[in-house]
Amino acid sequence: MIFSIQRFNPEKDTSPYFQDYEFEIPKSATLLDCMNLIKWTQDGTLTHRMSCRSAICGSCAVKVNGHTLLACKTQASKVIKDGKVKIEPMGNMEIIKDLVVDFGQFWEKIERIKPWLVPDESEKPEKERYQSIDDFRKIDAGSTCIMCASCYSDCCSLDVDKGFLGPTSLAKAQRFIHDSRDRERLSRTGEISDKGGIWDCTHCGECSERCPTEAKPLERITSLRRTAIALGITNNIGARHVKAFVDSIAHSGRLNENILPIRSMGLFNISGLMSLIPIGIRMMMRRKNPPIIHKPIDEAEDVRRIFRKLRKG
């Protein structure tokens, strides 16, 4: 089989390149086993990270055929396509050497969500702060995150906006915001509702697809959005967008795309509304703007009836 591995040594290379290694895969070998054997028997200069080899530490995450996986958890035979596998360093991070990337910004964003409990000091438990089984279930999935950064690597939002906190940080934030023993729920939720937080996720789903545990960041982000609205943290574009979306469909049975961006931006957000004008002009020039008068939609009244029933319930 051919292992095509991206190489880059900043001390002598001007840009990354791919180097092919012909290698016979041992029976039942993981991708990490193969990478180690290539390093040990063919090219000692090949650089990659590894530690536990048990899918616990997350050190060996790399891009395989375009998507990030844990090398130690991946059977090599399962990723071979037409006799070849392509291995690259993780995305959304600077390359240090070969498959090793700089986690500096990743850890800074983790630290920003304060990944530790802030208990109510007025309570003085004799031994420990107890938690019910039902309360633990609210944070069970989020607590499985091993911070391997697989979700961070493939995040589409981070690819275009480096200010986005990223799915790992937000999944970790959910673990503490929904922890019944933490007293900073309101302030924590407010901090991640600002620009770069929960509302900047584009719902592409790549984070949950790549997650090797049950953390599934997209589900954690969705639950945080519900929590933010329930807590009344709605003075932001994301929350206004959700409310405008729901109100439009509930009112007419369809989405009014002409009003949606205005209500999402905020009626009194003058600078924000002005920023919409160039976009609107470009849409009109390309005839992409929604019609002023919508065509009738079959069974729109049924949609309105569903919303009325849900709101009464």
Report DSSP letters for 208-236, one per residue: HHH-SSS--HHHHHHHHHHHHHHTT---S
pLDDT in tens, 200-249: 999 999 999 999 999 999 999 999 999 999 999 999 999 999 999 999 88
Neighbours of 209 (CB within 10 A): 14
pLDDT in tens, 120-156: 888 888 888 889 999 999 999 999 999 999 999 999 9
pLDDT in tens, 233-291: 999 999 999 999 999 888 888 888 888 999 999 888 899 899 999 988 999 899 888 88
Q: Which stretches of 108-252 are assigned E, i.e. beta strand?
A: none
What is the reported pLDDT for 104?
A: 96
Cα 22 vs. chain centroid, distance in angstroms?
35
What is the reported pLDDT for 297?
A: 82
What is the reported pLDDT for 291?
A: 84
What is the reported pLDDT for 97?
A: 97
Q: Is 10 helix (H, G, I), strand (E, B) or coil?
A: coil
Decide if 122 contacts 29 (C-beta within 8 A).
Answer: no
What is the reported pLDDT for 290?
A: 85
Domains and CATH numbers, the chain: 2-100 (3.10.20.30), 104-230 (1.10.1060.10), 239-312 (no CATH)
Decide if 174 contacts 223 (C-beta within 8 A).
Answer: yes
61-64 and 67-70 strand pairing:
antiparallel
Nearest Cα residue to 153 out of 220, 84, 66: 66
What is the reported pLDDT for 77?
A: 93
Question: Which residues touch 245 (CB under 8 Å, ≥6 apart)?
Answer: 255, 260
Decide if 225 contacts 198 (C-beta within 8 A).
Answer: yes
What is the reported pLDDT for 46?
A: 97
Both tokens of residue 304?
Answer: 């309105």
Q: Is this model's pTM higher than 0.85 or not?
A: yes
What is the reported pLDDT for 127?
A: 86
